[in-house]
A = this chain, B = another copy of it.
Amino acid sequence: MTRILVVDDEPQILRALRINLRARRYDVEVAADGASALRVAAAQQPDLVVLDLGLPDMDGVDVIRGLRGWTPVPIIVLSGRVGSGDKVAALDAGADDYVTKPFGVDELLARIRAVTRRVVHSDNSPPTVRMGQFTVDFANHVVEADDGNELRLTPTEWHLLGILARNPGKLVSQRQLLHDVWGPQYERESHYLRQYMAQLRRKLEADPARPQHLLTEPGMGYRFRP
């Protein structure tokens, strides 16, 4: 199902779009200001963003730039401003389309179809996981920071992180981790786990001493929280 993030500070527009989009079988997330738009986009990984330029806290163009810093997600801009300068600025910042208010819902839906049609055909969505400022792509074995830098993991680190990430939110026992990564005869070498979990935290956690994603369950195992 296509997930759409709608960003608008006017409750009635938000409500109208949500109802209309849900009726068309879209999965709808909403945000009422720029900061939460960026936060929800990072957490929910929408397939499309419908963005009102007139937000209370940020300039809409800055929201576009904030998104474009790390994601190619299609962006359709809604705006009451009809000036050509606004359109050019938004489109050149990375927006895919620009619709001026008042707009017809039919037209917006058609533009949503036009944009998603092109992206779906071209983009093969890899199974990717967000961890703080990092995007971990297990299919391509790439860890990319939001600033564009790449982070390198060793084969053992990939193996360990992969098992945890494939069980998001679930507790994975030490025995199972040791068995899967090192082999059956290493099931009591919990030292290995401590060693490599520390390495992963150093590389991926903002504060390795207070991990937000790679959690320890004392006496039991480890847990990955997305």
**Chain B residues with CB under 8 A of A118:** 72, 74, 96, 118-119, 122
How many Å lie between the Cα of A38 and that of B196 in the bound state?
A: 45
Q: Chain B interface: which of A18-26, A47-55, A134-142, A205-213?
A: A134-142
* Contact indicator A155/B110 (Cβ below 8 Å): no
Binds B, one of A3-11, A28-36, A83-91, A182-190: A83-91
Asked if B140 and A114 sit within 8 Å, CB to CB, the answer is no
Is the CB–CB distance between A114 and B141 below 8 Å? Answer: no
A70 interface contact, C-beta 8 A: no
A147 within 8 A of B: no
For A152, the chain B residues whose CB sits under 8 A away are 217
Residues of B within 8 A of A92 (CB): 110, 113-114
Identical copies in the complex: 2
Q: Are A170 and B139 in contact (CB under 8 A)?
A: yes
Neighbouring B residues of A27 by C-beta, 8 Å:
none
Q: In A70-121, which residues have CB < 8 Å from any B CB?
A: 72, 74, 84-85, 87-88, 91-92, 94-98, 104, 106-107, 109-111, 113-115, 117-119, 121
Residue from B97, B170, B218 in contact with A114 in the complex, judged by beta carbons closer than 8 Å = B97
Residue of B nearest to A74 (CB): B118
Which residues of chain A in 123-169 are interfacial with respect to chain B, using CB atoms and an 8 Å cutoff?
123-124, 139-142, 152, 154-155, 158, 169
Cross-chain pairs A/B with CB under 8 angstroms, 28 sampled = A72-B121, A74-B118, A84-B106, A87-B104, A87-B106, A87-B107, A87-B110, A88-B106, A88-B110, A91-B110, A91-B111, A91-B113, A91-B114, A92-B114, A94-B117, A95-B114, A97-B114, A118-B119, A121-B122, A122-B122, A139-B170, A140-B169, A140-B171, A141-B217, A141-B220, A141-B223, A155-B218, A155-B220
8 shortest interchain CB distances as A-B pairs: A122-B122, A91-B110, A141-B171, A84-B104, A155-B219, A88-B110, A91-B114, A140-B170
